[in-house]
Amino acid sequence: MENKKFKMLISAYVSFIIFLLFPSSPCADDLDALLKLKKAMNITGWEPSAQHYCSFSGVSCDQRLRVVALNVSNMPPVRDRGSIPAEIGLLNKLVNLSLAKYNLSGRLPTEMANLTALKHLNISNNFFSGMFPGEITLGMTELEVLDAYNNDFTGQLPLELAAGCKTLKHLHLGGNYFTGNIPESYSNIRSLEYLGLNGNLLSGKLPASLAQIKNLKELYLGYYNNYDGGIPPEFGSLPLLKVLDMSSCNLIGKIPTSLSLLKNLHSLFLQVNRLSGFVPPELSSMANLVTLDLSINELTGKIPESFSELKSIRLINLYKNDLYGPIPKFIGDLPYLEILQLWENNFTYELPESLGQNGRLRDLDVTGNHLTGLIPRNLCLGGRLRTLILMDNNFFGPIPLELGQCKSLVKIRMMKNRISGTIPVGIFNLPSLDFGEDPTRNWKPQQLNNSLAGDEPIFWENTRRNL
């Protein structure tokens, strides 16, 4: 312990001597910059009298004692909102700068243009405002990551990124208040693997030229944006794309069949738009698809039989469309299906008898269709079923006894059906199910007698939301 204290004192003494002898040295500039950052950003724990600045929490230096990394993201959060001082430009050897989630506000200082060695810049989850000063990136020729997600930036998307950042792999400008069109020039950032522009106020047409970024693996363009037109068919020519998210951004027209060429895609999010026409059967050729969300659109027709080829699918959301016909039997045979939400369509006939036999089913909601028949017995075969919502259909017969042993159940809703028989006694003892004000108080568990056909509800919901 004494030896450690001695080393710390020697280190502080050497720093002090360097500062006295060479007050304008780069090391002195770095120390001065860190002290200015400490004050402006309300950083605690940086004490130059007790330790060398290279030992400050979140600071890393090279062999010449120049600061090459600054990461305050893992430090304890501060209550008082801070800002980035102009002196940050003195840290011109920085390679990694992470100021995420540190309650920072104000504008980014133009002196950040001096940080020409940066490869990683993360200022996400703060309160930075004003226009993003794109000119600061013109000299950042080695920048690979720029994450400005969830701030308060306004104005146009910065055009300068396409001019200076030729090695950029990760660009996230989502969760701000950017307006206007997506610049066509962004298609020139050919190194991009991740592009996030979601959660802004963007408008205009989606540029088909984004399909020229052949290295793209994740593309997020939806949420609060309000585009004109539909999905560019050219997006089907992104060979490495794994995630395509264009949710809630006013898209119209048909789903391009060319999306079926995205052989590596595992997540397709197109919900909350005004897409119309049929669900393209060609989408079944996306063999790696895990998540498919086409909910809240104006789609019509049947669930394509070819979807039986989606052997990796875990989530199917098709609710609030105008789909009709039977729910295909193969839906119950999909080996990894966990979530099936088909509510508020016009589906008819019965639920597939094999639904739940894969042992993975967690959430099933078919409310507001025209389904009939018996409730399948094996919905909770794997002991994972949490939500079972069958309201407003024409199901008949008894509640399966097996549901009385489904300890994972959190919510059941079955009102407005023609269910009869007895309620499995075990349901009343399920550990995660909360009866609230006991909506069953007006009828006996042993004699259901069609009480679920009218207004008398079965509605059990767990109030412990975090389970």
414 closest CA partner among 397, 436, 434 = 397
Model pLDDT, residue 343: 97
Judged against a pLDDT cut of 80, whether residue 437 lies above it is answered with no
Per-residue pLDDT at 467 exceeds 50: no
> According to the model, what pLDDT value does residue 27 have?
73
CB atoms under 10 Å from CB of 319, counted, come to 23
Quick one: pLDDT band at residue 154, thresholds 50, 70, 90? very high
Alpha carbon distance 222, 198 (integer Å)? 5
Mean pLDDT (whole number) for 159-168 = 90
pLDDT of residue 20: 46
Mean pLDDT of 65-78: 88
DSSP 8-state secondary structure symbol assigned to residue 181: P
DSSP per position, 224-292: S-EEES---GGGGG-TT--EEE--SS--EEPPPGGGGG-TT--EEE--SSEEEEEPPGGGGG-TT--EE
What's the pLDDT score for residue 150? 97
pTM summary value? 0.88
Q: Say what percent of the chain tops pLDDT 70.
A: 87
pLDDT at 434: 55
pLDDT range class, residue 48, cuts 50, 70, 90: confident
C-alpha to C-alpha distance for 349 and 95, rounded to whole angstroms: 61
Region 378-388: what's the mean pLDDT?
95
The per-residue pLDDT for 118 is 97
Q: Look up residue 223 and give its DSSP letter.
A: S
List of domains in the chain: 327-467 (3.80.10.10)
Element (H, E) at 186: none
pLDDT at 313 over 90: yes
pLDDT tens column, 228-267: 999 999 999 999 999 999 999 999 999 999 999 999 999 9
Mean pLDDT across the stretch 44-59?
Answer: 86
Q: Per-residue pLDDT tens for 351-364?
A: 999 999 999 999 99
- Give the model confidence (pLDDT) of 111-140 as tens digits: 999 999 999 999 999 999 999 999 999 999
Can you give the pLDDT at residue 26? 63
CA–CA gap between residue 176 and residue 201 (Å, rounded): 8
What mean pLDDT do residues 394-403 have? 94
- Among 2-11, 20-29, 258-267, 301-310, name the one with the lowest average pLDDT: 2-11
pLDDT at 450 over 80: no
Choose the weakest-confidence range: 192-201, 308-317, 331-340, 416-425.
416-425
At 364 the pLDDT is: 97
pLDDT at 142: 95
Tokens of 267: 């997540």
At 390, give phi and psi (nearest 5°).
-120, 15
Give residue 6's pLDDT: 47
Higher pLDDT, 135 or 51: 135
